[in-house]
Amino acid sequence: MILTAENYFSPENQLAYMGASQFKSFLACPAAALAEIRGEYRQEETTALLVGSFVDAYFEGTLDVFKAKHPALFKKDGGLKSDYVQAEQIIQRIERDEMFMRYMAGQKQVIMIGEIAGVPFKIKVDSFHPGRAIVDLKIMKDLEDAWNDAEGHRCPYWMNWGYDFQGAIYREIVRQNTGDTLPFMIAAATKQKTTRLQIGQIAPERLDYCLDIVKHEAPRFAAIKRGEIKAERCEQCDYCAETAVLSEIVEYREGA
């Protein structure tokens, strides 16, 4: 089947292909990732996600269709809710910046497929500049470092959100399709009261490192999707909380 904008996230294609977000979901909690693929669990479509998609749709030139598909964007009086009014302000800020606009001027939402360690992967590039760069647009709360539980220290935002894994997967699939190993760039704009803009490039060595982890983990995640291996639970996320069954008493003691 040919992947299109319409069927990119269809249950069949989520099962057939691994994508960057799906890979990150598996890294965080295999049980939740699998439940989501099987349609047994749905991550809430948060306002934060919708704001990002709103801006994506604008740059793709499909904002009208996007608005028609998402009545949740509007208040009762037909005006946009404040989060999306802010999204429009972010768009206006971006449009005032020549360099940001140059990075956003590539081919929009380019879909490619490939294989990593024998596992079929799909990617969708926000702004693709053939032979030059892969650009992903991110609408962030801010660009500050934050505590990272897994690392045990504060880390840069792009690491906390796994954009290095996304970059590794995108760069590799683009390479397989075009023969070019391109820089993975993030065009970031923030939702702060006054929007910050930044064009970042994730260091190629970091992408190499992440690609090694993808090669190592993707076959196991694919086997979980095929039902050959049991999906471990993280016991930390909302899905694990929702499906937890109590079986023991926790003893509360001072200093324990």
In terms of phi and psi (left: phi > 0; alpha: psi -120 to 50; beta: otherwise), the region of 109 is left
Question: Among residues 29 and 119, whose Cβ is nearest to Zn ion?
Answer: 29
Give dist(CA 140, CA 162) in Å, integer. 13
Burial class (CB in 10 A: 0-12, 13-18, 19+), 99: exposed
Who's near 172: CB < 8 A, 6+ residues apart? 114, 116, 121, 211, 214
Which of 95, 93, 118 shows the shortest CA–CA distance to 105? 95
Which CB, 185 or 231, lies closer to Zn ion?
Answer: 231
Q: Provide, rounded to whole angstroms, the least separation between the CB of residue 44 and Zn ion.
A: 15
Q: How far is the CB of 43 from Zn ion (least distance, A)?
A: 12
**Tokens standing for residue 213:** 């982890």
> At its nearest, how many Å lie between Zn ion and the CB of residue 164?
22
Give the residue with the Cβ less far from Zn ion, 42 or 253.
42
- Nearer Cβ to Zn ion, position 155 or 234? 234
Chain contacts with Zn ion (rule: CB under 5 A): 29, 32, 234, 237, 240
CB of 33 to Zn ion, least distance (A): 9
Residues paired with residue 140 on neighbouring β-strands, in sequence order: 190
Give least dist CB 27 to Zn ion, A: 11
What radius of gyration do the chain's Cα atoms show? 20
For the bound state, the minimum distance from the C-beta of residue 133 to Zn ion, rounded and expressed in Å, comes to 35
Angle at Cα 22 formed by Cα 170 and Cα 53, nearest 5°?
75
Of 155 and 240, CB closest to Zn ion: 240
Nearest to 93, CA basis, from 25, 202, 193, 24: 193
Closer residue to Zn ion, CB minimum distance, 68 or 246 = 246
